[in-house]
Structure 1
Amino acid sequence: MQNDLFYQELDQFNLFSEFAEPQHYQPVPNDWFVVITDVVNSTQAIQDGRYRQVNALGVASIVAIMNSIKPLKVPYIFGGDGASVCVPSSVLQQVKQALQATVILAKQQFSLEIRAGVVPVSDIRQLGKDIRVAKFQPKDHFSQAMFDGNGLSAADSLIKQANSQYLIEPVESDSLDNNDLFEGFECRWNEIPSRSKEHIALLVQALPNEQFSSDQIYQIVLMAINGCYGDELAYHPITPKQMSLSSKVADLQNEAKIRSGFVGKLTKYKYIAKLKLLRHVGNYLMKNKVKTDATEWGGYKQRLVENTDFQKFDDMLRMVISGNEEQRVQLENKLKQLQQSGLLAYGIHSAPSALITCMVNDYNHDHVHFLDTTRGGYAMAAKQLKSQLATLKSVE
């Protein structure tokens, strides 16, 4: 169908500061569907120290969907403990199968539950909400989807209703074909320490009124961030020097479970052994700046940094920022003033390190790296933001 190419043909914008400008957004076709995934009881899992598993499953759901519809490109966004994706009706059946496999994988390999659902865009519009998408392309080889219209949160609410008709029911399967769904999922990097003492996961949701539009509020927020942390180069959460490949089984087993989850324990152990070998190979290739027909390894870490989703928008601003406690306190004070003025709700969670989970189609340019802070960054920041919104509703 013609509108299958809606996202691929969407015009892009190049400056992140324009993320809230309405002209960049186009309505998702009415016959498309919104896919929502999230780890149930993720807060408890994070408190149990399982934040890396929670992140891994959020990314795994994106990887499974994208593999199931190749070569079609569709918009998606990672939220820490889950993901949102928009897909056309022509690929709905294989997307549902990918979701079923992800739900089963989470249960069998991690003893975690993924809630997955699919909602027609038309149903969301009947509720008075919308889903509009923009394409942010800071580099020729990297783009991100941005969402507005409050349709994603509406879809999330519909899926979380008791006995929701939109939920995907898992179908037990040991199919070897399911492993192909997770090809390209990688989780091989050590946690990345902040070069400035700490990372923060930041969420900000504008609350426009007659005086201030959403765009104006977000511009005020960006000015506050720049005033406290400096420009993007100053607060970018990772640099190539900070990155190192992990040799810990505890880190590597998440990828092993996801990539070989349907083929038994022996294959998993072999996969971990392969990852340990690949660590040495990767270090050699990057250190010696080896060039192959497919990849220029000397620049891989820099391309990885450029291909991270450390700042994004899905009806709220999401950022991972590197800084220190003094800068965080300054920013919180400014956000608190704006929040008390009724202009926004926000959440901040600080941690010593960032966590990176990857979707790699090739090591040259086609790779995306999903960022969060350790200790459950986005998920924990969301608790604070939701609390502020709940307080606001009770006052109203």
Structure 2
Amino acid sequence: MASINDDFYENLAGFTDFHAFSQIGRYTPLPSDWLVVITDVVDSTRAIQDGRYKDINALGVASIVAVLNAAKPLNIPYIFGGDGATFCIPPSQQEPVACALKAARDMAAGQFGLALRVGMVPMQVLEASGHTVRVSKYRPYATYQQAMFAGSGIAYAEALVKDQSPNNPFLVPESELHTEGDFSGFECRWDEIASPHEEIITLLVQCLETEEASEQVVYQAISGHITQIYGNEGRHHPLRENRLALSLSPKNLSAEIKIRTAGQSGWQRWLYAFKLPFRVLLGRLFMGLRLKTRAGNWGRYKQMLVANTDYRKFDDVLRMVMSGTAAQRQQLRDVLGQLHQDGKIAFGLHAAPTALITCIISDYGNHHVHFLDGANGGYALAAQEMKNQKRRLAGKQTVA
């Protein structure tokens, strides 16, 4: 049954200037009857060390598409984190989303041999422990919007879901029943994208200040440093239209085949795999000829892809994928390192020569979203550095 709060996210006004992410007044408390949903690839760091970073990204996006399809037509807030995702859902969607999460977990195990941790935490549990979740909406264009989260509740929910205690009540329970997932819209057809400069960096920054006013000052200062070092969006955006190329590599296309055919017969899997290269060739042809079809304006598709890419976001952690030089990275690391030494922030920074992109396509016109990460482990490895910094700071405080 639908709740009176089902349209909470849809009705948020949002903001158009990304740098407003630090202004807590732009965020609205999540309704108390909602739930925070967490998905996470277990032991993703080891899988990345084994060269499976593309599979990790694919499973993170697959969990998003499964949940979004289950919640349709409701618009729910979510954020992609590289090796998983975070969602906020109303109670009316708890059952269908739980089924979608089970299907994503089964698909990860059956198709990739990887464990996908999935869990739900009621907002009342977070509030009872003194944590908040606030939501806003970054909407730079009429055809693109992206959820933003503030407050400590997201991190606490993740900790509860990842807790290793037996019979963790926040994990979506195992089921003997086979659950069908809807992964339609998932696409993974692009070659890795070379940096327009020297490298792609994946950056995570979390302010450790406890006062909201101080937190806003720190994030505004960091935004200023990034602009000063890397230039404006036009300079540091990691994508350029002329560097986007659809892939015909069987290895690159394998993740889409596995996800889109999960639970299907061998014949259906073979047929999808057989057709996919022809779809890629058609895409190349349509874009090259700049054709207009009922499906969309293919001459503008790459332009829309760049515009609809989630290369920067905020969920109480600033997350960015940027293009730049090694010298710029060192300059940024020096600035952030000083802030870390002062106890103001923890951060993680990972560099790679390329970025990878995974997509959710509602239609080829305007409604498609593209999830970006640095190659070779981007967000996941940057997160590991940030966690290590927080542990060291906690250790110093304990000794003191």
TM-score bracket relative to the smaller structure: over 0.9
- Structure 1 position 331 matched with structure 2 position 332: yes
Give 1:260-275 correspondences, 5 Å limit.
260-275=261-276
> Do the aligned partners of residues 45 and 211 (structure 1) sit closer, same or farther apart at CA in structure 2, a change above 3 Å counting?
closer
Which whole-Å CA distance do the structure 1 matches of 2:290 and 2:162 have between them?
A: 49
What is aligned with 1:26? 28
Give 5+ residue unaligned stretches, structure 2: none
Secondary structure at 2:139's aligned position in 1?
strand
> Do the aligned partners of residues 150 and 210 (structure 1) sit closer, same or farther apart at CA in structure 2, a change above 3 Å counting?
closer
Which whole-Å CA distance do the structure 2 matches of 1:155 and 1:208 have between them?
A: 20
Determine if contact 1:187/1:357 at 8 Å carries over to the other structure: yes
What is aligned with 1:65? 67
Which whole-Å CA distance do the structure 1 matches of 2:300 and 2:377 have between them?
A: 30
1:1-56 deviation per Cα after TM superposition (whole angstroms, max 9, x unaligned): 22100000011100000001011100111001110000000000000000000000
Give 5+ residue unaligned stretches, structure 1: none
Secondary structure at 2:5's aligned position in 1?
helix
What is aligned with 1:225? 226
TM-score by length of 1: 0.97
1:161-181 deviation per Cα after TM superposition (whole angstroms, max 9, x unaligned): 212101012325556x43xx1
Pick from 20, 39, 42 the counterpart of residue 41 of structure 2.
Answer: 39
Secondary structure at 2:277's aligned position in 1?
helix
Which whole-Å CA distance do the structure 2 matches of 1:111 and 1:210 have between them?
A: 44
Pick from 170, 174, 192 the counterpart of residue 174 of structure 2.
Answer: 170
Which whole-Å CA distance do the structure 2 matches of 1:274 and 1:125 have between them?
A: 49
- Structure 1 position 102 matched with structure 2 position 104: yes
Which whole-Å CA distance do the structure 1 matches of 2:83 and 2:251 have between them?
A: 19
Offset of residue 210 of structure 1: 6.4
What is aligned with 1:197? 198
> Do the aligned partners of residues 342 and 248 (structure 1) sit closer, same or farther apart at CA in structure 2, a change above 3 Å counting?
same
Offset of residue 212 of structure 1: 6.2
Which whole-Å CA distance do the structure 2 matches of 1:172 and 1:106 have between them?
A: 16
> Do the aligned partners of residues 348 and 172 (structure 1) sit closer, same or farther apart at CA in structure 2, a change above 3 Å counting?
same
Which whole-Å CA distance do the structure 1 matches of 2:214 and 2:254 have between them?
A: 46
What is aligned with 2:361? 360
> Do the aligned partners of residues 210 and 14 (structure 1) sit closer, same or farther apart at CA in structure 2, a change above 3 Å counting?
closer
Determine if contact 1:104/1:172 at 8 Å carries over to the other structure: no
What is aligned with 1:146? 148
Which whole-Å CA distance do the structure 1 matches of 2:204 and 2:287 have between them?
A: 34
Which whole-Å CA distance do the structure 2 matches of 1:32 and 1:316 have between them?
A: 21
Query: Which amino acid is the alignment partner of residue 182 of structure 1?
Result: F
- Structure 1 position 87 matched with structure 2 position 96: no
Which whole-Å CA distance do the structure 2 matches of 1:273 and 1:195 have between them?
A: 33
Give 1:302-313 correspondences, 5 Å limit.
302-313=303-314
Pick from 125, 136, 139 the counterpart of residue 134 of structure 1.
Answer: 136
Determine if contact 2:202/2:320 at 8 Å carries over to the other structure: yes
Query: Which amino acid is the alignment partner of residue 206 of structure 1?
Result: C
Query: Which amino acid is the alignment partner of residue 129 of structure 1?
Result: H
Which whole-Å CA distance do the structure 2 matches of 1:95 and 1:387 have between them?
A: 33
**How many corresponding residue pairs?**
393
Which whole-Å CA distance do the structure 2 matches of 1:184 and 1:210 have between them?
A: 41
Which whole-Å CA distance do the structure 2 matches of 1:125 and 1:22 have between them?
A: 18
- Structure 1 position 156 matched with structure 2 position 158: yes
Which whole-Å CA distance do the structure 1 matches of 2:103 and 2:295 have between them?
A: 31
What is aligned with 2:352? 351
1:334-368 deviation per Cα after TM superposition (whole angstroms, max 9, x unaligned): 11111111111100000010010001100111111
TM-score by length of 2: 0.96
Query: Which amino acid is the alignment partner of residue 314 of structure 1?
Result: D
Determine if contact 2:56/2:82 at 8 Å carries over to the other structure: yes
Which whole-Å CA distance do the structure 1 matches of 2:108 and 2:294 have between them?
A: 36
Query: Which amino acid is the alignment partner of residue 148 of structure 1?
Result: A
Determine if contact 1:192/1:243 at 8 Å carries over to the other structure: yes
Offset of residue 257 of structure 1: 0.5
Offset of residue 211 of structure 1: 10
Structure 1 vs Structure 2: percent identity of aligned residues?
46
Secondary structure at 1:13's aligned position in 2?
coil
Determine if contact 2:291/2:297 at 8 Å carries over to the other structure: yes
Which whole-Å CA distance do the structure 2 matches of 1:171 and 1:283 have between them?
A: 42
Query: Which amino acid is the alignment partner of residue 169 of structure 1?
Result: P
What is aligned with 1:293? 294
Secondary structure at 1:130's aligned position in 2?
coil
Determine if contact 1:174/1:262 at 8 Å carries over to the other structure: no
1:215-254 deviation per Cα after TM superposition (whole angstroms, max 9, x unaligned): 1101111111111111111000001111001101111110
Secondary structure at 2:209's aligned position in 1?
coil
What do you get for the CA RMSD once the two structures are aligned?
Answer: 1.2
1:53-93 deviation per Cα after TM superposition (whole angstroms, max 9, x unaligned): 00000011110000001100000000000000000001110
> Do the aligned partners of residues 119 and 110 (structure 1) sit closer, same or farther apart at CA in structure 2, a change above 3 Å counting?
same
Offset of residue 272 of structure 1: 1.9
Secondary structure at 1:12's aligned position in 2?
coil
Offset of residue 292 of structure 1: 1.6
Query: Which amino acid is the alignment partner of residue 117 of structure 1?
Result: G
Secondary structure at 2:245's aligned position in 1?
coil
